[in-house]
Amino acid sequence: MSRITADYTLESPVPLAKAAEVIAGEQSSGTFLRLPGETDDLRARSGAMVESVTVEEVRGTPSLPCRLSSTRYERGTIRISWPLANLGPSLPNLLATIAGNLFELAEVSALRLTGLSLPPEFARANPGPAFGTTGTRALTNVPQGPLIGTIIKPSVGLTPEATAALVSDLIEGGIDFIKDDELQADGPACPLADRVRAVMQVVNAYADRTGKKPMVAFNITGDLDQMRRGHDLVRDAAGGTCVMVSMHCVGLAGMVALRRHSDLPIHAHRAGWGLYQRSPDMGIDYTVWQQVWRLAGADHLHVNGLANKFSEPDASVAASARAVLTPLWDDAPMQAMPVFSSGQTPLQIPGTLAAAGSEDVLICAGGGIIGHPMGVAGGVTAMRQAAEATRAGRSLPDHARDHPELAAALAAFGKRLR
C-alpha cells in the first residue's frame, strides 16, 4: 500500500514517543472516542503510523509556551506515515494531513515539518510545471548560463506609461526577465490591462527588431476568475509569455486551477514565507514546501538570495535552491527554476551558482542592475560577466581586470557586502 511519509523536529513536555502517537492519532483516526463502526481493523488500515522516534536533547524549559507544564522537555525527530488511500493524491488534503491540527496540540512545545516523501501517484494527478527550466529557456532564448532578471518598483503609483518606459530601458540594456513587484497587481494607478498593453508594445517592438523577446511576469494575483482573465489578457491581447502569482495568497487550490487553465509559465512569488520559516521551532522547511508548489504547477519558485536583506541564512537558501532543482521522481522530473532575489549584485553570483550546483537559475537584481554606475546595460553586463568568470574558474577581481562593467560593480557594491 502506498504511503505518505513526513519528518518533523518535535519538542514535547511528555515523552517524545507518546507525543508522536498523539500526533499520529490526531492526524488520522482520532485520539479518544471511537465513532460507531470504527473498528480495530479500520484503525489499523487507515491510521497513521509512527515510523521512528529519536530523542536528541532534554531541556528544562520549553522553546515556546506550552499548556502542559513540565520540568522535562524532550526534543528530537519523529517520522510519521499515512496510507495514500486516506486522502488520495490531493494537494489541499495533503496539507491538512501533514501540517494541520498537529501544530497546536497541547503535547507540542515546538514542531517543524522537515521532510516529505510522496508516492508517484501524486505525479499522475498533479502534473507539475508545464514549462520549468527547459520551457523558460526556450521562451527567453537563453540556452545557457543563469537568466538575468530584475523587478519593477515602485509598486504603488507608477503609471502604465512610466512602467513601459522603465521596461524599455531594461530590455535595451539586455535583460532576460522582468517581474512585477508582488504589491503591483490591478490597482487603479496602474491597471493590469493598461500595463500589459503598454509594456508588451515595447517588448514586442524590441523582439521584432532584435529577434529576442525578454520575458515579463505580470502579477495576476486575485480570485480564480480574475486570474483566468488576467492570464488570457497576457496571452491573447499582448502575446505575453509569463504570469506571476503570490502563491500563499492564492492558495494551493488557486495555483492548481491556474495551472490547469494556463498556457504560460507561472512565476510563483513566496510573499509571506517568513510566517512558516522564521521560527526554528515552529513551521515548515522550504525544502518540503517547494515540493507541494511544484506539484501544484509553479514553473519558477523564489528561494531568497545569498547575503540577502532578510533573516534567512545562506545555507537555507542553498538547500532551497537545490531542492527546487531535484527531481521528485525518476520518471517525473518536475524541475522548476529557482529564483534568487533580495539585494543581489554581481558579487553574489559565484556563490549563487555554487549553492545551486547549476546554472539553471533565475537571478533577479534590482539595485544591483539599475544602480550600476554605468547604467542598466552596465549592470546587466556585469551580472553576465560574473557568471562567465565563475564558469571559467576565475575570481571576480581577476576577471574584472579586462571587464570594466564588472570592475565598476565590484567598486560600487563591494563595501555593502563586507
pLDDT tens string 162-216: 999 999 999 999 999 999 999 998 999 999 999 999 999 999 999 999 999 999 9
CB 398 within 8 A of CB 389: yes
The DSSP string of 160-185 is: HHHHHHHHHHHHHTT-SEEEE-TT-S
pLDDT of residue 93: 95
- Residues forming beta bridges with residue 52, ordered by sequence position: 79
- Residue 28 has what pLDDT? 83
The rounded distance, in Å, linking the Cα atoms of 217 and 395 is 33
Cell of 117: 516523501
Whole-number pLDDT of residue 38: 67
Rounded CA separation 30/105 (Å) = 13
One-character DSSP codes across 31-75? SSPPPTT--HHHHHHHS-EEEEEEEEEEESS-SS--SS--S-EEE
* Strand (E) or helix (H) holding 202: helix 192-210
**pLDDT tens track for 305-362:** 999 888 899 999 999 999 999 988 877 667 899 999 998 999 999 999 999 999 999 9
- The partner residues of 82 in beta bridges, in order of sequence, read 4
Amino acid at 247: M
* pTM of the predicted structure, to 2 decimals: 0.94
Burial (CB count within 10 angstroms: exposed 0-12, middle 13-18, buried 19+), residue 61: exposed
Whole-number pLDDT of residue 148:
98
Nearest to 44, CA basis, from 54, 29, 31: 29
User: Grid coordinates 544602480 are at which residue?
Assistant: 371
Specify the pLDDT at position 411.
96
Structural domains for the chain: 3-125 (3.30.70.150), 132-417 (3.20.20.110)
Q: How many CA atoms lie within 13 A of 51 on its CB side?
A: 15
Crossing angle (nearest 10°) for helices 375-392 and 349-356: 50
Q: 247-261 and 286-296 helices cross at what angle (nearest 10)? A: 30
pLDDT lower than 70: segments of the chain: 30-40, 42-44, 332-333, 416-418
The pLDDT value recorded for residue 149 is 98
DSSP state of 230: H
Q: Dig out the grid coordinates for 37 from the structure.
A: 463502526
